[in-house]
Structure formats: C-alpha cells, structure tokens
Amino acid sequence: MGSDPATDRSVAETEVEDAFKRSVDEGRRRLSRRTWPLLATGLLGGIDVGTGVLALLFVEHETKNVVLAGLAFSVGFIALSLAKSELFTEDFLVPVSTVIARQARFRMLIRLWVGTLAANLVGGWFFTFLIHLGFPQFSETALKAGGYYIHLGLGRRAFALAVLGGAVITLMTWMQHSTESDGLKLVPAVTGAFLLGGAQLNHAVVNSLLIFSALHTDRAPFGYLDWAQTAGLAALGNMVGGVLLVTLLRLFQVPQTVKQERENPALGVPMGDDRRVQDRVEGS
C-alpha cells in the first residue's frame, strides 16, 4: 500500500495541486462573468486566432511549406496568451475543473462554452473577411487550407484528428497554469499552435477560420453547410480529447485536493452549492 498524500505531504503532487487550484480560481472568474464581457472576450479570441491564420496564409503562400506555416500560426496563440482573450477549447480544463470542484453549476459551463464558441466564430469570420479584402493574392492558399478540412470528411480520421486537437490545446492550457511566468507560458503556446497548424489537427475554431477564408473567395467548391458539419464533428472530438483524455486524467493525479475543494466550496461565489447559501444565511 502506498502512502496517502492527504496525510503524507512528501508524496503529494504539489506542483499539480497548485496548477489545479489556479485552474479552479481562474475558472470561477470566467464562469461568473456577465454576458457582454464573456462575448467580448470570445470575439477577441477569434480575432487573435485570426492573426495566426493571417501569418499561416502569408507564410504558406510565400514558401509553399505547411510546416513553416504551422510555426507561423503560433502568432495567434501568443496573442491569446498575452492579450488574455479566450478560445472555446481553452475552456475544457479551467472551468471544467471548477465545476468538478463544486465552485460553479454545470449550466454555467454550458453558457460559457456556447457563448465563447459563437463569439470566436463571429470574430474569426469578420477577421478572415478582412484578410481576404486586404490580401486577395492569398485566395489559392486559402482554398487549399480550408478545403483540407472539408476533404477530411466525417469519418474516423477526421474524428481522431479532432480528439488529438482537443488533447493538444487542453495540454497547452494545463502547462500554462503550471507556471505563473508569462514568459514560460509562451512555450506551450508556441508548441501547441505549431502542432495544430503544422500537423493540421482538426480544431473546431481553427478549421472554421481557414474554411471561412476559403468561403470568402466565392470560389470554394463547398458551402456553409459543409462547414457546419465539419466544425460540429471537430467540436465533439475536441471535447472528447480535451475533457476525457487530459482534464479528467489530470484531476485523478490529485484526488485529495479535488475532494477538499468539493467538500469546502468557496464562500461568496454567486452560483452553485446550497451549503454556501445556508452558510451566508446563518452568518448574517
């Protein structure tokens, strides 16, 4: 039998516990935002990823090299990290951890997911439209980049690439919450974006922006219905990869800390556990 981390701190995963606690605190903040700040943050997230799409199209247009274009795509994720905007798939770790810790209700998680995803897509659609107007010479590159995800279809390969995409972006989020240094947070931002762009993983927002770039040319042999089907499958696979393969397994590393959070939900959180309501009534 091994030692119990709850009673023997020498065997506790202290770094993982600290990352989990930071995730819960950050998730509490995200989930308690009002609607307009939530949507504004999502719009900015779509625009920030759009800067990565601009870099990707520019480099691929000039070099015809997908790997170099994938590296250039990291510009968008550096912007996400430093500008404090938000991407739909970044919300697979932080707010999910908060809900599991009983610091927020599940319905608030759904609200965050729906609002952030919709705002990401709107912001990304508009930014890629500006890219088309400003750089019409990228049209062929955009048709090729966006068409890649349409041609993946709706089969096992597309779903597997979506699971990998969700796992990569959620691992990136976990790594960023493992440090408080902004400089070190850029390392997972660059590596995660490189894998998404260079390996052409199936990510709901990234593939949507590239497909939008192709659709803006008015020459794409596919339409918005094809995009919706492709993005829908990608979002489902992203959730499986992000929530099941990364978030839940990471939380199993620190079961004693998760248990403590669930048994002692923070006071003052505006939604959630009935005990907090009772505590406030008794303390008033």
Whole-number pLDDT of residue 7: 52
In a domain, 129, yes or no: yes
Q: What is the pLDDT of residue 207?
A: 96
Q: Which of 49-58, 69-78, 98-107, 117-126 has the lowest mean pLDDT?
A: 98-107
Confidence of residue 247 (pLDDT cuts 50, 70, 90): confident
Yes or no: say if 170 and 94 are a contact pair by the CB < 8 Å rule.
no
Residues 104 and 95 sit within 8 Å (Cβ to Cβ):
yes
Instruction: Determine the pLDDT at residue 184.
Output: 86
- Mean pLDDT across the stretch 231-255? 90
Is residue 4 over pLDDT 70? no
Report yes or no on 280 lying in a domain: no
Find tokens 């993983």 and name the residue: 201
Distance between CA atoms of residues 29 and 133, nearest Å: 37
Give residue 96's pLDDT: 87
Report residue 153's pLDDT band, with 50, 70 and 90 as the boundaries.
Answer: very high
Instruction: Indicate whether 277 belongs to any domain.
Output: no
Query: What's the CATH code of the domain at 115?
Result: 1.20.1080.10
The reply to whether 46 falls in a domain is yes
pTM of the model: 0.86
Domains in the chain: how many in total?
A: 1
Read off the pLDDT of each residue in 21-39 and give the average, rounded to a whole number: 85
The whole-number pLDDT of residue 266 equals 54
- Confirm whether 72 is domain-assigned: yes
CA torsion through residues 81, 87, 89, 50, sign: negative
* pLDDT confidence band for 156 (50 / 70 / 90): very high
- Residue 249 burial by CB count (10 A; 0-12/13-18/19+): exposed, middle or buried? exposed
Whether pLDDT at 257 is above 60 = yes
Q: Are 103 and 272 in contact (CB under 8 A)?
A: yes
Q: Has residue 279 been placed in a domain?
A: no
Provide the domain limits for residue 249: 10-264
281 assigned to some structural domain: no
User: pLDDT of 169-191, one tens digit each?
Assistant: 999 988 887 777 878 889 999 99
